[in-house]
Amino acid sequence: MKGICILGATGSIGVSTLDVAARHAQLYKVVALTANNNIDLLYEQCLEHHPEYVVVVDENSAQLFKEKLESSSISDIEVLSGAKSLEYVATLDNVDSVMAAIVGAAGLLPSLAAAKAGKTVLLANKEALVMSGDIFMQAVAESGAQLLPIDSEHNAIFQCMPAGYKSGMQAKQARRILLTASGGPFRQMPLDQMPHVTPAQAVAHPNWDMGRKISVDSATMMNKGLEMIEACILFAMIPDQIQVVIHSQSVIHSMVDYVDGTVLAQMGNPDMRIPIAYSMAWPERFDSGVEPLNIFDVRRMDFEEPNLERFPCLRLAYEAINKGGIMPTVLNAANEIAVDSFLNEQIRFTDIPVIIERCMEKFEVKPANTLDIILEADQQARLVSKQIIAELNY
Ligand code: NAD
Ligand code: MG
């Protein structure tokens, strides 16, 4: 029996993880669940999975949650609050696996704590890795943690790697990664309509059902930019070895091109329970609850090169990784602020890359070799981005 801690239990990945865990209750015990403030869903999850601990990061919501528990059948659950408590539950002795599914930079410290504690880290929180690549992989290597990617593309690549492959290793016979992308909802929209895109249109992804932030990232293709950086870190490759491929059907989840000309692809229905179940069962496999792929329904698969004029965020991500050091952190922080402002209807969809580019221009590259430097760059880039937004004139 393995103990699992789910960071970000109330999100899209968290909910899918609990769905898989419930199918394998004889193998997985839910030890801890965390949420930012969605206490209604968290309460339902506690009734079903009865964890030992919950963390509600927001103090006021935590207080309300405690009151809710007092008069219930699950009043023995320990309720903690504050960001530090995330690190506490991610490193508990009876936790073997940590699902790192908090969105954005807020997931960095608890995900890193799990890696340092030598846990099996199921990593969905790509922003954490983009920010802290070297430090994160060093923590994994030193502690002997097992790092299993949850992002569907990276999970696919991991599955296509040679037997015995471990995240961070260089697979010498793998010469290229073909990183697939759906292209999001605006792949074919006339360019002059892009400035008028609404938040509701941007979060309506054609193939995947995801949280709001990553859905906007998919629409700008910043998601693929972050994933390209994530792939460089996880698979020890350089940006030139990662080819982004638009594959609108989202049946192939990525491919590895080997020196002998073999290309291995992983396919399946677009449902995150597949990579989640793979990582929870690893190195075995078990049922994910996902319908088998009906290859006859797929009928055809299309592949095209991304258009960097339509998707400047992808170009900016290549620029950030090529500059290196703190630049991916700056890219990520500016993107988080810009996406948030777009969702709050303060800026236009097409302002997102403009803000990120202007923000990156304001920073000098320096090595990202300590956590303090990374966290400082993150904070500074957030302030600079807010300033740039305030100065936009309409
Ligand atoms: P989501 O918005 O649905 O859920 C986010 C979770 O993080 C929630 O549980 C929320 O309570 C928690 N959270 C938010 N802000 C927090 C904070 N400041 N402190 C602590 N907790 C906080 O997001 P999601 O779609 O589940 O994505 C989660 C992560 O997984 C992201 O990094 C995303 O890029 C990655 N990912 C998601 C998918 C997907 O299909 N949803 C696919 C690949 C990768
Ligand atoms: Mg992905």
C-alpha 133/C-alpha 228 separation (Å) is: 12
C-alpha 247/C-alpha 120 separation (Å) is: 31
Q: What band does 394 get if pLDDT is binned at 50, 70 and 90?
A: low
pLDDT of residue 35: 98
The reply to whether 68 falls in a domain is: yes
Residue to probe by mutation, ligand 1, list 39, 42, 155, 210, most atoms within 8 Å of CB: 210
145, 174: one domain: no
User: How much is the pTM?
Assistant: 0.98
The reply to whether 293 falls in a domain is: no
Q: What band does 171 get if pLDDT is binned at 50, 70 and 90?
A: very high
Check whether 209 has a pLDDT greater than 90. Answer: no
End-to-end CA distance of the chain: 58
Q: Is 13 in the pocket of ligand 1 (CB under 6 A)?
A: yes
Looking at the CA of 180, name the nearest ligand: 2
159, 142: one domain: no
Residue 300 amino acid letter: R
Check whether 393 has a pLDDT greater than 90. Answer: no
- Of 149, 171, 206, which closes a domain? 149
pLDDT of residue 191: 94
| 257-314 pLDDT per residue, tens | 999 999 999 999 999 999 999 999 999 999 999 999 999 999 999 999 999 999 999 9
Average per-residue pLDDT in the chain? 97
pLDDT of residue 206: 85
96, 169: one domain: no
Residue to probe by mutation, ligand 1, list 7, 103, 205, most atoms within 8 Å of CB: 103
216, 88: one domain: no
The reply to whether 295 falls in a domain is: no
Q: Is 106 in the pocket of ligand 1 (CB under 6 A)?
A: yes
Nearest to 189 by CA among 18, 350, 365, 355: 350
140, 212: one domain: no
Looking at the CA of 86, name the nearest ligand: 1
Bond into 312 cis (ω within 30): no
- Of 149, 182, 208, which closes a domain? 149
70, 93: one domain: yes
* Mean pLDDT value of segment 171-187: 96
- Of 109, 124, 149, which closes a domain? 149
215, 105: one domain: no
Contact at 8 Å (CB) between 99 and 117? no
* Ligand 1 atom closest to Cα of residue 38: 11
For residue 392, the domain's CATH number is 1.10.1740.10
Q: Which domain holds residue 237?
A: 154-270+301-310
> For the chain, how many structural domains are there in total?
3
* Ligand 1 atom closest to Cα of residue 223: 34
The reply to whether 284 falls in a domain is: no
**Residues in the chain, total:** 394
| 346-367 pLDDT per residue, tens | 999 999 999 999 999 999 999 9
The reply to whether 134 falls in a domain is: yes
pLDDT of residue 208: 85
Q: What band does 221 get if pLDDT is binned at 50, 70 and 90?
A: very high
* Ligand 1 atom closest to Cα of residue 12: 26
With a CB cutoff of 8 Å and minimum separation 6, the contacts of 239 are: 228, 232, 318, 321, 322
- Could you give the percent of the chain with pLDDT greater than 70? 99
142, 163: one domain: no
The reply to whether 93 falls in a domain is: yes
The reply to whether 275 falls in a domain is: no
**Ligand 1 atom 16: residue of nearest CA:** 36
Hunting for tokens 């202007």 — which residue is that?
358
| 19-72 pLDDT per residue, tens | 999 999 999 999 999 999 999 999 999 999 999 999 999 999 999 999 999 989
* Ligand 1 atom closest to Cα of residue 126: 32
84, 214: one domain: no
- Could you give the percent of the chain with pLDDT greater than 90? 98
Q: Is 8 in the pocket of ligand 1 (CB under 6 A)?
A: yes
